[in-house]
Structure 1
Amino acid sequence: MSHVTFDNIYIGESAELGKLRFNPAGFGWKSYKDENNTPTTFNGSDVRGATWLRVARNFQLRIFLRTPDKPRVTFDGFKRDEFDKVKRTLDEYFGIKLDHRDISLKGWNWGKAEVQNNEIVFEVQHKEAFELPLAQVANSNIAGKNEVAIEFNPQPIPGVGAREPDELVEVRFYVPGKSKKPKGSDAGSGGEETDVDDEGNEISAAEAMHNLIKQKADIGAAVGDSIVVFEDVLVLTPRGRFSLEFFHESLRLLGKSTDYRVPFNSIHRIFLLPKLDDLHIQLVLGLDPPIRQGATRYPFLVAQWPKDEEVDAELNLDDEEIAKYPDLQKKYEAPTFQVISRVLKSLTGKKVTPPGSFRNAQGVNGLKANVKAVQGELYFLEKGLIFIAKQPILIDFSKTESISFSRVGSGVASARTFDMRVVSKTDSADHVFSAISKEEVGPISQFLASKNVRLKNEMEDTMDLAGDMDLDDLSDDDDDASIPSEDEGRKKKKGKKVEKVQPRKGADDEDESEDEDFMDESSDGGSPSESDSDDEDSGMASDASDPMMEELRKKQAAKRAKNKKAQSGSDDEAPKKKKAKMDVD
């Protein structure tokens, strides 16, 4: 049987080169890398069309098939002068005409976007600029009034390893105006009419495109009938109320303005945790890859229900289909969180992780903590810990280098809270959980010690110091330190009059008038330096409360004042004033 062969050809998006061979029965491609492998073959009777176009890897032959599971196959790497050879081969073997399609190379970002078959085609001046396969669309949302945001599933590339390749994750189309009725529909006398929904509301062009993408793409109901639907579920991350629709391969979150599709193979962890208020239950799903909303990534999905809320649910599955899933029942009549967690466990095949054996000082599973300015709830699990907030944090004990306790201020024994720092073996940044109640040190230390986690308590020295210190002794020491003795005071503040005056107020009850004489005379002319030096030379600075010493001090003060007045020559006015004052007293 005759055949035609083309060398150095790529199949699809593969990076491997191979050879493409045609014969009247069909065609096949085989890699150069392994000559002993089985070639990829296609039946010639399934070919229904072909297109030739320019791509990044020279020219591409696009062959359309009648098989629903693989409607199209592409081959890159053809040279320009091979067009005629390919055209004759397809006409001779399969009786089809090769269509030559021109590609727009203008680079414009405005044109016309249409949904054609299984692709979104963007045309510029009636020439194709690019196309997006609907099979890779993960989600479609209305962003604003006239924008359609399309998100794509991350595509794994074999041989890349842990490195994540650069790829398109989102594209937005600005679609202004209203949706028009298609040609041939009933239109009024004014010509074209805007399309309306079932309630008579006008449909924008962006909304019409969004609905068409959801219908054609692998989103929501396009996959098939839902198994069960839970209405009006409060989702904390991302925030909003959604309907949870379970399908065979995915979970759909349908909200008023957003719509998320979560494949079951992207759910890698499931947690069922009670809130600290003892009134609600939280279901936490760890997602990889995470769902996205604009530039925000959500690696965790957190839903919440009241603990006493119950639901009656019946699954849309027959007995044969239910038998394929372990522990799945036809009907449920139980609390909502139990039903949803059991359905998730059966459909995903993942284990539901309950709270660990940790109990705080009040006997509750978790405790309150802060990460920077965000307050949340911290739960200690059997193999790690999880912090539930707007953006949850999951830490595995096997990847933890150490956990340390510390206070905000060094030596603050009276602090009521402490910080817990988690040092990771893999991440360069540490996780610090702050504002944890001091009474939780004991329960946390015992639990971490039982899990063989390396623990550093930087508060032990401060706590031991506070424990060995007597509060009564502390108050006495403070008093002694703040009120020095008179002898020490005179040594520290030598030459200051206040050191002598202050103690005398409590010891001169015998003759108050003499005290006033001393105060007036000293203030009139006696210098502090002179009086202090005389007192120290005569040995009078030892005890101000002794009556004999007081008497001597007063006599000396009066003598000095008398000498001072005699020298100044003005000793008439002062005695008169003094006597008048004494008579009044």
Structure 2
Amino acid sequence: MNLDSIEFSNASQEVTGSLVSGKLSFNNRGLVFRNPGTGKNLVVAPTDWEDVFWIRIAGAFGLKFFLKSGPMHQFAGFKETDFEPISKFFRNSYQIDLKEEDKSLKGWNWGSVKFRGKVLEFNVERQVGFHLPLNYVSQCTTGKNEAVLEFHAHEDASVALMEMRFYIPQEGAEGDPLESFHQNVLDKADIVQATGEALMSLHEVPSLTPRGRYELKVYPTFLQLHGKTFDYKITYSSILRIFILPHPDSRQMFFVLSLDPPIKQGQTRYPFLILNFKKEEDSIEVDLEIPEKELKEKYDGRLEKHLSGQTYEVLGRVLKGLVNRKITVPGAFKGTTGSSLSCSYKAAVGFLYPLDRGFVFVHKPAIHVRFDEISAVNFARSGGNTRSFDFELETKNGQTHTFNGLGKEEYSKLFDYVTEKGLRVKNRGDKDEGASRKIDMVLDSDEDEEHDAYMQKVKNEGRARDDGDDEEDDEDFKPQEDNSDVAEEFDSDAGGSSEEDEDGESKPKKEKEKKKKKANRYDDEVGDGERKKKRKKEGKKDKDPNMPKRPLSAYMIWLNEARDKIKADFPGISVVDISKKAGELWKQVTDHKKWDDKAAEAKKEYDIKMREYEKKRRDEDNDEDDEGASSSKQSKKSSQASKKSSKPSSSTSSPNKMVKSDEFVATDDDTSSSDDDKAARSKKRAKSSEESEVELSD
């Protein structure tokens, strides 16, 4: 254990009747409690502590801190064994003794009341019955011998205390005890009362949320909005953060207040107050009606008596001093239109502001997401052939905020920003290529083509495991070896005659023209896509059963192991719903290393089997080629010789002239035949026979 600090990760703070989990630590600054829901740190210095008590809570133990000036703080989530180390640390570090509170267990409802700071203490026979923080009280009214306390409603509390009544007898008491009780409660309770004059007033202030124009009045303890229909009172304790954000048109400013609890309008809750100011408005001057002594003591110099400047600037400086909160402005991010990104959230168009410690979306609905709430960010497309992309923020509680329609030109700037802030980018690519590798954001100079980070990731995974394809190259069909144009057109008559017809065109050429016209007619009737699909289906080969199966991805390995558990957790779930539920559960898995390692191991085994399979197949193909080499060569030579022997005579004659064949046999009636003609024909036949023998020998 560190001697300079002591920390409890599972502590809880009691807030208006409910417990808020967080991290409690004690160090040189004193008490520090981190609220993960609001991101707000509660820091109380040891010099402000009056008493610290170790208390017993149902089934556990807790700590109760009384302050010299301020509310009481209670924390739970401790074990009995934590008393000794905490007590020793307080004594050594703060010189404060940790006391044990002696509570009354009689359950009586009659006792005495006393006020210590901003806490009402009810005692039964000198033992504490209960403590009531008066900052929970919203109103106090009196009747005959009775005082009624009303409490602020807490949205997160399942059971809330709304009212408490005290009977205060008048007999035998000095003065008016009922009036004294009422005045003590009003002085110390968090009661919103418009008493006195406002420190600052603004008329006709345009508000985006809630929508309308309001008269804004600034009081020492609260902010009032007065409209035609509704009035709102905002206590300074409910203001978590103040944002001043410039509009992209450089003529307007958004003034945003983050509220907890939110203001209400019927059943509607507004966790953000968004005011809209114009830069072109005239400067204003304000003189605060606060004594100089109070400015120095109560506000510690955070406020000035005289203020001047733009309306939003003056209002920001006043609230900064009253609320004691820093004003958040845009950080170092610079886009093409300034410090914001134009986009839409669901159906509402607005502006996303990347800040130094989070993101703010203005304005409907206003969203603030801190970096410590984000588990991962994701770059995706908005769908279709658009010139934009989507930006997703996944929070640790499983919620996803998707901002659509961001301009393509903002892609690289936003990616550099989230990388610089150390946020985890969900779709960086394959982990084998290095976790530090950025998304391939090289945007093609061709503006018709759009970069898709998600599709790039899918392609990378596909290339990694797509070593074996179902379809193989056809090694039997080699039209180049036929050395003919007809072979390219899938014509069976590859060695046909090349004689020309009456138009001077060769028959193979006319055959190609006929096939082309036939194909065009087929395209008109069926469609080019159907024809290609039919040819592909006819030419596709069956998959080799000996080919190794592709490896499973990390998600599929996880799904095979989680499928039985999903069925057990959700009885009667259908197959389709199992896939949907598995997708939701997979998104909630933050550490994928186990499944990625299994997928990588399966990929290595697949690569080894694939190399062995390809080597075996090449050996079998070589054996088949050796056996058929001689027969193929002899068949080719015979075919070429047959083609040459079947060539027609090169001499041509007129179609109207009678020609006698070499095989013409003269008859006795043929008086035109003579011995000289017979001898010439016999000599010609012998010469032709010799030429044929020479060609065959070649």
Decide which structure has greater strand share: 1
Superposition TM-score, scaled by structure 2 size: 0.40
* Larger relative contact order, structure 1 or 2 (CA cutoff 8 Å, min sep 6): 1
